Amino acid sequence: MDPQDQASPIQLRPYTIEEFVQTVCPQCFAERQRASDEPGVWKDGMLVSHSGSIWMRRFCELHGETESLYEEDALLWQARRGWSTPTSTIVPDRPGLPGGFPDAYRHGLPASHAQHTCILLLNVTERCNYGCPACFASAKPPGTAEPIEERPTLTEILATVDTMLAREGGRLGVVMLSGGEPTVRRDIVPMIEALATRSITRIMLNSNGREIARNDALLDFLATHRRQVEVYLQFDGFDGNTSHVLRNEDVLEEKLLASARMNERGIFHTLVTTVMRGVNEEQCGRIIRHGLDSPYCSGVALQPMFGSGRFPGYDPMDRTTPTGILKRLAGWTDGAMTAEDFVPLPCSHRDCCDISYMLKLSDGSWKSLPQLIGRDNLREWVHLVANTITFDGLSRPVVDMLRSGSLTKVLSEQLGPGAPQLALEVSRMCACVPGLFEKLGGIWQRLGGRSGGERPDGNELATRGFRITIKQFMDAHTFNSARIRQCCVHTGSFEEDPRRLSFCWRWLFDDASDFPDGRPRYRRDGTTLENGKADA
């Protein structure tokens, strides 16, 4: 046989390499949970494009070269480039330790971490009054005995917050109370009262809404603290099948009641949707419309299903992704929203979150900031923040807006969507576009001093704004080390010297814990894990 006719061992790869990353092998994690310091847990990987999508490929000694869907639409993924702004330096959690990835991240945020804490998330209980098949925290089901002393204690919670306040320069943007279900704690009211005395811009209560729908005293309390407290309300759609798949019971009427009660009392809340292919994707447009029609609904957070904790089975090759949502939005909203209304969150890694901010016009319609200000203008402003030393040639309103930091505050998660300050920062951006206040009319025209009447306050403005985020948390199929290194959503630990862990790191690795002092933790199957080792 002629050697020229033999197949060459050198072949073209059937994909284009986009980026190199450190990742993990999902097949290894499917066999059992893994610790971040376990030998061989870290794999060389790369993001590649083929078939119109982006894929995560990794190389495992046991399972070979495998891939999983990372983003459905390659063009929309590539369009995220060029929107980044400068990030903030941080005070590390363990200053004496070296700052390399991944070792340093086991001990909190190192000095080399690329972003400060926009959201400090505190898991204040493991108990819940739902028994959801989908629960990244693997919360204990209803009927679990209430402990004699709930951990973390209120003292531990406040100690962690005070430590992080010091490390963040004296102010925290958002503190989110999560779990489990925070409202099952008997001391949830004094907990929020204590937090409200601290320098925290927004306290977010992450809740399934059951207690809000039923408990008048809790509702009264939230209404009293509405200027500082906002509710992150779990809300997955409008049919019983969705509820049963994701929550194991029909909870639609309860969700609608909780939202209605908050609207009646002027309590700002965000609808938080776990989006799963074949279950509720096509309801995203209706959920957004429901939020826009609710006076004190300040936004919608669309969160594609991810595979940490307890979750229904899904196909990692055909799953909901942010770009998949973006490319279908026009069809789901009858053209009212498209991918052009969203930009990648500039303060974090570009794959972490897509964001849009909507304003209500005097005729009752809604328009996004990219539509009103111009997507090219927004991108130019981002570039100016990132690269310009001098603002020569810019109008005075644009210079003032850029120097005030309004752009980075609006296009970030450091302010809750219902925060009055957020609406005021948006107004500074609107002032940069000649004639925009007149176009907006009504309350916005009053704000710009273009018509009679008193200037509206921030709370009045907040009812005319609406933030939509699309955020894909990472699991073993999509884990990207670059996203960890620029993460701005951090869980706080409860120990003598608290630390922060990236949210996705916290829920993927077996050795990541809210209680590094060795308090028992629980595996997905309910067996106990203590000090990183399974009980015999």
Alpha-carbon span 457 to 494, nearest angstrom: 38
pLDDT of residue 458: 61
Total-model pTM: 0.90
Domains and CATH numbers, the chain: 115-321 (3.20.20.70), 370-462 (no CATH)
Copy the structure tokens of residue 142.
Answer: 């209803």
Identify the CA nearest to 491 among candidates 188, 236, 72, 124.
Answer: 124
Classify the phi-psi angles of 274: left when phi > 0, otherwise alpha if psi is within -120 to 50, otherwise beta: beta
Question: For residue 523, what are the contacts with CB-CB under 8 A and spacing of at least 6?
Answer: 33, 138, 529, 534
Work out the angle at residue 266's Cα, subtended by the Cα atoms of residues 355 and 367, and round it to the nearest 5 degrees: 35
pLDDT of residue 503: 96
pLDDT of residue 386: 59
**How many residues does the structure list for the chain?**
536
Q: Are 232 and 272 in contact (CB under 8 A)?
A: yes
Residues of the chain with pLDDT under 50: 388-389, 449-452, 520-536
SS3 state of residue 345: coil
Q: Are 83 and 106 in contact (CB under 8 A)?
A: no
pLDDT of residue 525: 42
Alpha-carbon span 267 to 418, nearest angstrom: 9
pLDDT digits (tens, 9 = 90+) for 223-251: 999 999 999 999 999 998 999 999 999 99
